[in-house]
Chain A
Amino acid sequence: MSVEMNHYTNEFQTFQQNGAAKSPDWVNDVRTAALSVFTGKGFPTTKQEDWKYTNVTPIARAPFRYSASAPAVPAELVTSLLIGDTEQHLIVFVNGHFSAEHSRLQSLPAGLTVKNLIAAYGSHADLIKAHLSKYAPYDKNPFTALNTAFINDGAFIHAAKGTKSSLPVHLLFISTAAGDAPAASHIRNLIIAEEGAEVRIAHSFASAQDNTNLTNVVTEVSAGRESIVELVKVQRESEKAFHVEHLHVHQEPRSTSRVFSLAVGGAIARNEMSVIIGGETTECNLNGLYITSGEQLIDHHTFMHHIHPECPSHELFKGILMDKSRAVFNGKVYVEPEAQKTDSKQTNRNLLLSDEAVVDTKPELEIFADDVKCTHGAAVGGMNETHSFYLKTRGISEGSARGILTVGFAAEVTQKIDDPVLRRFVDTIVVDHLRRKFGTGNLPEIVHA
């Protein structure tokens, strides 16, 4: 066994001694099985097609340690990461551990449960057993196997039949330095929307310092019949951090999912987003924006699985790349023979603001039904000359035109976020981030038509 695998086997033993006991026995069986898959496979290498453009050697080499408890983080930090000052439904985790101190869960509407997974074993044991590790297969992705081996805590959301929550629920995950060794957080989230429920979720990740943590997340979402689930992920961890998430959305008939991914943080960040469109006339919207600079690498791998007929799926991912950064977009659409009348559209557009930035974009369509409408397109280019000329004829300088058009490029995809509060949240983070990167406060706030 390699040095790396020995490290994780030792880590697992430590974990079992001082954390794992908080969950039911059946979870431990899953963990043990997942650990043997992980140690058998090891970390992925660039020889594997799915990891061809993303080299995770820096993650494999670093001796990440499971942190048994959460270090303190200041209240001001938490406040600075909120959607708004008067935020009501907030659950905070620090290095994967629930922080009761920073969470605000007093005013949840009837029918909506938001708690940490460990607490939920007590109140929703059967429900968890029915859903946990049912959508995220750990035999395919080593990071999912690693996460599953270390299942401990994370967010649990349950929206009972017909529950409608008007305010978004904010799941906030903060990573922070813990002792000398870099810390790993294996976060496990479970979101269940029952029939006709509507939930909106901010799913956000940030760092307390410029720390080199590993955040390895698996999130499973079950969208019941006719439910609407909007999940907006905001990943703004430190540019030294490593971030991996595998998000699985399982949709029942006539449900609607709206998933958005904003990724601006991490030295290496990998988002896998899989949607199983498991019922007729089910709608899926999967959109995202990544902004990379320095030597960052941000990778999105999406998978839309059309199993049933007459389901629309819409996918728009945009990227803004600066300096020597890299981005990967791989969008797979799989249409089963039964999934006739599928209407699937996938677009990936990249704006390269530097000659040294690189993007690898790859649509992957596998269609086995004959009566479908499936389109895809990918574009990589610099600033649009005609657009830039238009601005300059109004007296706007080259530099300002660049800033304005970059904001416009981003806004075209953030407008896909349905919930106005979440859209505003993302727009503000995008503009603040671009202001920092462009080194000017002189960039417009985003407005939408």
Chain B
Amino acid sequence: MIEIKNLHANVNGKEILKGINLKVNAGEVHAIMGPNGSGKSTLAQVLSGHPAYQVTQGEVLFEGQDLLDMEPEERAHAGVFLAFQYPVEIPGVSNSYFLKAGLNEIRKSRGQEELDSFQFLKLLKEKMKVVEMDQSFINRPVNEGFSGGEKKRNEILQMAVLEPKLAILDETDSGLDIDALKIVSSGVNKLKSPSNATIVVTHYQRLLNYIVPDFVHVLVHGRIVKSGGKELALELEANGYDFIREEMLQSA
């Protein structure tokens, strides 16, 4: 589904990603783990097209298309979704307006008919059940005054409504208590299908107890230094990131 080849990216002239290679197929869940400052979130932002990052080398193919050549909204139309670590608050604009605007632009780009308010509301209510969200959130301003858990749940609601092919979850577990973590993970798991894929970016193994990855990649200093199965996450949990650094030193 997505193939990342030798991806280099800068922010404010500083190189953060130094040659990422990664291939994700439909039906797979990949976890990207790594210490703070390793470039995990940068990778997530670059894949979604944040304008603050400049790609200096490499390419990213999404279903055969050049992803890096697309605007952020075009990537969304193509089926890429980013769940934000820090979702943005938009006062005055209702959750339902926001989501309907996004969904209808995606549908329009695919030549599908736009949903009217009635059809959309029906869909939204179904999806709210998936993430166990109260219907009072329909008409509340986007993320304004939401708790940390409510914001993350709202991200997964958006994912449920927009039905992306590739979902990138950026530190979705940060700031969540265990109950919220379970609800959010269960929402992600319910949305999983053989035709979509998920990249989970996380610092801690904790989330991976609930969203079980097929592959785990360890990112250090802008490079993937180790890849493995879900057991790699447990190893990291037990030994910390230091053992990877030591391995790197020994092999150097």
Residue numbers of A with Cβ under 8 A of B are 385-387, 389-398, 400, 404-405, 407-408, 410-412, 414-415, 427, 444-449
Contacts and interface: CB of A to CB of B under 8 A. Distances in A.
B90 A400 contact: no
Interface of B: 48-52, 71-73, 75-77, 80-82, 84, 87-88, 90-94, 97-99, 101-103, 105-106, 109, 139-141, 144-145, 158, 162
B90 A392 contact: no
B94 A444 contact: yes
- Nearest 10 A-B pairs (CB), nearest first? A411-B92, A394-B102, A392-B72, A395-B76, A395-B106, A390-B88, A392-B73, A444-B97, A395-B102, A408-B90
Nearest to A415: B91
Contact of A392 (B71, B92, B145): B71
A299 B75 CA distance: 43
Given A396-B73, A407-B93, A387 B88 contact: yes
Nearest to B90: A408
A168 B149 CA distance: 39
Q: Which of A393, A398, A404 is the most central at the interface, judged by chain B CB atoms within 10 Å of its CB?
A: A393
8 contacts: A390-B88, A391-B98, A391-B102, A408-B141, A411-B93, A444-B93, A444-B94, A448-B92
Contacts of A385: 51-52
A114 B50 CA distance: 57
A393 B78 CA distance: 11
Contacts of B99: 394
Given A389-B72, A447-B141, A449-B144, A396 B101 contact: yes
Contacts of B77: 395
Contacts of B72: 389, 392-393
Contacts of A448: 91-92, 141
Given A389-B50, A395-B102, A446 B158 contact: no
Given A393-B75, A398-B73, A405-B90, 10 more contacts: A386-B88, A387-B88, A389-B49, A390-B87, A391-B98, A394-B98, A404-B90, A404-B93, A446-B93, A447-B139
A262 B177 CA distance: 42
A4 B97 CA distance: 53
A180 B77 CA distance: 57
Contacts of B97: 404, 444-445
A449 B76 contact: no
B105 A396 contact: yes
Given A389-B50, A395-B103, A415 B76 contact: no
B105 A397 contact: yes
Q: Which of A390, A407, A449 is the most central at the interface, judged by chain B CB atoms within 10 Å of its CB?
A: A390
